[in-house]
Structure formats: C-alpha cells, structure tokens
Amino acid sequence: MGLGLMGGSLALALKERKLCREVIALVRREEAAREAEQAGVVDRATVDPAEALGDADLVVFCTPVRVIVRQLAAFAPYFKPGAVVTDMGSTKQEIVAAMALLPDNVHPIGSHPMCGKEQAGVSAAETTLFEDAPWVLTPLDRTPPAATRLVQELAAAVGAKTQLLAADRHDKLVAAISHLPYTLAIALVLVARRVAEDDLAVWDVAASGFRDTSRVAASDVTMMLDILLTNRQAIGQMLALAQTQLDRLARALEAGDESTLRILLEQAATRRKRLYRSTIAEKQTDG
C-alpha cells in the first residue's frame, strides 16, 4: 500500500530475494502503476483496492501515518479472511487504535522499520534499506502469535532485527531518538536562517558539523507533519527535557562555569562513544 521510499524498498527487497509468490502494489495513479511494473519494482500494480487486496495474504501499509489510519477503515471490506495486516508507520498508537476496529477475521499488527533517508519516492528505494535496521513490532491484544511470527519473518528476510514493544512505549522512545532530533534540526536551520538575514556569509562557512546535525531537517515535510501531529504528547515531553538541558548549558555559559560545562560535555561524549563505538572503530580502521 504505497510505493514511496519504504514501500518501494520493501517491494524491491522481496522481489530480489524471491520471498513472495507475488508482490502487488496499490497506488493512486494509473501512470504510477505502469511505471512500477515497467521498472520491475513489483510484479503487478493497480489502482483498484479490490484487485490488490482480494487475494493478499499479507498487507503492508507504507503511506503516511494519518493516511494509514484513514485507509485501514476505507479498505477493511477488501481484506480476505485470515489476512495479516501491518504497516510501516513511524508512530503507533493511532494506527494500532484503528487496527483494533478491523473485522475479527483479519489479523492486524503494528510495525515500524527504524530506517529511511531524506529522499522520498520510489526513485530513492534501495533493496538494502532494512539491513541491520531495528524493526519494532507492536502487536494488539487480538494479534495471533502466527501473525506476529509472519511479520518477524518478513523483517528478518530483508535483513532487519525485530523487537516487540507496546505502542505507547514505542512512541515515547522514538520521540526521544527520532522525532526530537528532527525538531532540533529544524530549529538549527531556522536559527542559521535568522542569522543569514543579517549576514549571508553564515552559509559560506557552514561545513560538515552543520551539514551532519541538520541532515534530517531535509526530510519529507508531509511525512514529518504526520509524525509530529500523531505523537504530540511524547514529543512535547522530549522538547521540555531538551529545553531543560539547553537551559543548563545557557546558565553555565553565562556564568563562565567551566566545571559544569565540562561535566555536561563529557557525559554526552561518553554516552555517544559507547553507543556507536563499533561504528567509530570501523571508520577508523577503514580510514
């Protein structure tokens, strides 16, 4: 359901590894259907939900979060009995709530591959996008174990590492490690933009530090709006925590408190190095 970056990458990975009898895409436009077939992204593409869903054993929603919520209700009559219905949405509570309303004879389970790129659309799809990525599953109370196992097998087959979490816990955790970084990157770019109003040279001196810390600010706006608006409470909590840390830094700077600044900087540096020690070591070896 949807052939953007995530859906296109999944379709390509499934086809390349010959993991499915048939990979079918449901898209919005006839032109997109023909392009997807000609490019070999899927075996078959259609704009007709009855044609796409009538025989589907596994349905994966790869559209933006609020679209998924609407589509779950709109396409519910087309799912065949016994179909497993999952998704790739970046927030889970609203999606899982919508899944709970599906007919009893289909088997829903929320899921979220923790990967992506700033580029959007099927042209950015990669068969290796999911390799070594965390893939969180959020089963409902009604989800049969066999449905959970099927989606675990799907994720493992394209190289991902699965983990089970409750939907509310998922949303809190990703608010801290994904959604907060996006809002901070937005703030960073807007600050630099404000400085540029007085001195355009700020863009000339921007180098790798600015590029790396602002990278996710280039993410697809429609997708990110859906994420922010469907995880408002958790993101608000993380923004408040971030503001507390910024205030600590600001007070220490204003007071010239080198001791406090050193403690804060060392705490962050130590945690970051521990978290990505193997990656850093690999780069040093390569370099």
Tally of CB atoms within 10 A around 214: 17
The residue to which tokens 């596994």 are assigned: 58
Q: What is the pLDDT of residues 230-253, one digit of tens each?
A: 999 999 999 999 999 999 999 999
Question: How many Cα neighbours within 13 Å face the side chain of 13?
Answer: 21
- Which of the pair, 39 or 83, is modelled with greater confidence? 83
Which residues have CB under 8 Å from 70's CB, separation 6+?
Answer: none
The tokens for 114 are: 């923790």
Q: Looking at residues 116-129, what average pLDDT do you find?
A: 69
Q: Which fold has domain 170-256?
A: 6-phosphogluconate dehydrogenase C-terminal fold (1.10.3660)
Q: What is the pLDDT of residues 91-106, one digit of tens each?
A: 999 999 999 999 999 9
Q: How far apart are the first and last CA of the chain?
A: 41
Q: pTM of this prediction?
A: 0.87
Q: What is the pLDDT of residues 129-162, one digit of tens each?
A: 999 999 999 999 999 999 999 999 999 999 999 9
- Domain spans, the chain: 5-165, 170-256
The residue to which tokens 């020690």 are assigned: 277
Q: What is the pLDDT of residues 189-232, one digit of tens each?
A: 999 999 999 999 999 999 999 999 999 999 889 889 999 999 99
- Bridge-based pairing of strands 58-61 and 44-46 is unpaired
Q: Which CATH class is domain 5-165?
A: alpha beta
Q: Could you tell me if residue 45 is left (phi over 0), alpha (psi between -120 and 50 degrees) or otherwise beta?
A: beta
